[in-house]
A = this chain, B = another copy of it.
Amino acid sequence: MTRAFQETALAADIAAGLARVGTLFDSQLSSVFPAVNELCRYVERYRGKMLRPTLVLVSGLAFTDDGEPLRAEHDIVAATVEMIHMATLVHDDVLDEAAVRRRGETVNFLRGNETAVMLGDYLISNAFHLCSRAGNPALNLRLGEVTNTLCEGELVQLSRRHDLTLDEHTYFEILRRKTAVLVGASCELGTMLANGSAAEVAAMRAFGEHLGIAFQIQDDLLDLLGDEATVGKSIGRDLEKGKLTLPMILHIAGSSGSLRVAAMDAIEAKDGASLRRVLARSGSIDAAREKAISIVEEAKALLPATKRAHSRELLLELADRVVARNH
């Protein structure tokens, strides 16, 4: 966030909102069992960018009159989407056999897959319970739909591991489901709870889904190109687990002859250095990066007029940060 931003009243609103969300998050997970609390305290370390709750709050403020507060349901939805996200991180690390997340050891690495599976379940269950506390059936229905879609995305991705015929269309459909719908729902529900119009709700949802897709492309690029010290989590997992990502898909579709074969061989041999070299040579890494940037530009163009100019600026800045980040 730029210096100027941090000084606005809006930034103060968001910071105060995120603090409330953090408190709600912690109190929802508190258990009578010390063993459960210890695990929850551990995964709370995973809370990093808080992108999804931030989007709920900023989207809410964007359609709320100046000086009016957000609704209590905004905090509940913000904590719920973060809890859903956290559950997916815990189970993803099991799926990816990842050992490092947010510069610390993952739950599966530290406590074994069994505890990680059950802790993820505890987070999912608490997310739904927390959401139910709002007493608004529309929220439960929508978030249930979102998590169904998310799991379908993960299942389809699993079914296509080690499949060199995965095409760009299917890759984007997987991304939309496993990442973008939850980011889209964060913007959508924040707007809906602020009584945004149907058109505003739809536009904000589309804005969020675009952001989610660009976010995941950037994540995949960091997994391919980043180093663990900077990214702060296990990298090279996609190659290790046979997950084709955009630069690989663009390369296989767009090249031929020995260049194409070299990439496919490197993927099958899980040889990251050779793969990066050949993808750079064909320009596929740059092409994937440009694709992410152009999706962010589309997102920004989708952003509707808001009641507060500042929240619109913040949404635009959040969009840019999705592709500018290196962790």
Contacts of A36 in B (CB 8 A): 152, 155-156
Q: Is A128 an interface residue (CB 8 A)?
A: yes
Contacts of A126 in B (CB 8 A): 144, 148
Quickly give the copy total for this chain: 2
CA distance A117 to B131 in the complex (A): 23
CA distance A316 to B4 in the complex (A): 71
Number of interface residues of A (CB under 8 A): 44
Q: Is A321 an interface residue (CB 8 A)?
A: no
**Residues A158 and B31 in contact, CB atoms below 8 Å apart:** no
Contacts of A141 in B (CB 8 A): 129, 132-133, 135
Q: A94-B117, A155-B115, A156-B35 are in contact. Are A125 and B140 (CB under 8 A)?
A: no
Q: Give chain B nearest CB distance to A143 CB in angstroms.
A: 8
Q: Is A230 an interface residue (CB 8 A)?
A: no
Q: Is A282 an interface residue (CB 8 A)?
A: no
Q: Give chain B nearest CB distance to A140 CB in angstroms.
A: 4
Which of B32, B114, B137, B156 contacts A95, CB < 8 Å?
B114
Which of B31, B32, B91, B136 contacts A118, CB < 8 Å?
B91
Determine which residue in A121, A135, A137, A154 has the highest number of CB atoms from chain B within 10 A of its CB, and name it: A121
**Residues B159 and A144 in contact, CB atoms below 8 Å apart:** no
CA distance A173 to B124 in the complex (A): 22
**Residues A155 and B118 in contact, CB atoms below 8 Å apart:** yes
Chain A, range 121-167, C-beta contacts under 8 Å to B? 121-122, 124-126, 128-133, 135-137, 140-141, 144-145, 147-148, 150-152, 154-156, 158-159
Contacts of A159 in B (CB 8 A): 33, 35, 115
Q: Which residue of B lies closest to A97 (CB)?
A: B114
Q: Which residue of B lies closest to A159 (CB)?
A: B35
